[in-house]
């Protein structure tokens, strides 16, 4: 049997073993990430509500430092709260707390949130990344605001394994979340047999 033919067989066999190892490693990584995600969701408890002054609630630096937000999330949250402070945004649920004479209404609301008081609306007790309680002296209809914050990631990188027309390829994607509800994603397909990029796509996404 010609030596060159034997080399091709060995090369193909080596490539097949490499691909099998790569596929197994990728499968293990995906399983671990999935299990960690499930564990995180099951262990997530009601977060401690944070009381901020009206000025702190619209300060991007305060939101970054106290809530661990990135710049984009802090900017969007500060703008949202500012609109609510001056009445440009209506609350999802209107709830008014009476002053019981034992301190500010803001801290009364914080205490009720911390103990999951059933008197609060269900939206206020929902589990989120963070909860902000802040007085709103400029908004006479809603003197205290409760803000449920869910952070989003600005960038997402993905890799996997796919088959098209009997050919194996690796899809590599990069997604830019430029707002809480919109993103743009680019995906390239790298074909393993020919060792080249043979396809791709660009998507605009709406999150809901």
User: What does the domain layout of the chain look like in residue ranges?
Assistant: 1-34, 50-149, 152-208
Q: Quick check: 30 pLDDT over 90?
A: no
Q: How many secondary structure helices (H) and strands (E) does the chain include?
A: 5, 8
Q: Which two tokens stand for residue 109?
A: 């609301």
Ranges assigned E (strand) in the chain: 50-52, 130-135, 144-149, 155-159, 162-164, 167-177, 182-191, 196-206
Q: Residue 72: pLDDT band by 50, 70, 90 thresholds?
A: confident
Helix (H, G, I), strand (E, B) or coil at 96: coil
Estimate the crossing angle of helix 60-67 against helix 71-85, to 10 degrees: 120
Task: Quick: pLDDT tens for 104-151.
Answer: 899 999 999 999 999 999 999 998 889 999 999 999 899 999 999 988
Contact 67, 149 (CB under 8 A): yes
Q: Residue 32: pLDDT band by 50, 70, 90 thresholds?
A: low
Helix (H, G, I), strand (E, B) or coil at 111: helix
Pick 154 or 79 by higher pLDDT: 79
Q: Which residues contact 59 (CB under 8 A, 6 or more apart)?
A: 78
Q: Residue 43: pLDDT band by 50, 70, 90 thresholds?
A: very low
Q: Which two tokens stand for residue 80?
A: 């949202």
pTM: 0.59
Contact 163, 146 (CB under 8 A): no
Nearest residue to 147 (alpha-carbon basis) of 30, 203, 63: 63
| Distance separating alpha carbons of residues 88 and 45, to the nearest angstrom | 32
Contact 94, 87 (CB under 8 A): no
CA dihedral over 61, 67, 71, 72, signed as positive or negative: negative
């Amino acid at each position: 049997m010609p030596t060159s033919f034997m080399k091709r067989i060995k090369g193909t066999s080596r490539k097949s073993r490499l691909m099998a190892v790569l596929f197994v490693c990728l499968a293990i990584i995906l399983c671990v990430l999935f299990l960690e995600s499930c564990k995180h969701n099951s262990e997530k408890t009601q977060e401690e509500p944070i009381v901020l002054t009206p000025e702190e609630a619209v300060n991007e630096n305060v939101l970054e430092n106290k809530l661990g937000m990135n710049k984009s999330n802090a900017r969007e949250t500060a703008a949202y709260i500012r609109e609510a402070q001056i009445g440009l945004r209506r609350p999802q649920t209107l709830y008014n707390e009476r002053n019981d004479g034992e301190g500010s209404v803001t801290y009364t609301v914080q205490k009720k949130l911390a103990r999951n008081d059933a008197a609060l609306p269900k939206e206020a007790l929902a589990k989120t990344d963070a909860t902000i309680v802040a007085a709103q002296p400029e908004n006479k209809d809603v003197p205290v605001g409760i803000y449920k914050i869910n952070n989003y990631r600005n960038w997402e990188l993905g890799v996997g394994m796919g088959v098209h027309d009997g050919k194996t390829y690796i899809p590599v994607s990069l997604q830019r979340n430029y707002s809480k509800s919109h993103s743009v994603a680019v995906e390239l397909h790298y074909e393993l047999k020919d060792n080249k990029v043979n396809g791709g796509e660009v998507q605009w996404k709406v999150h809901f």
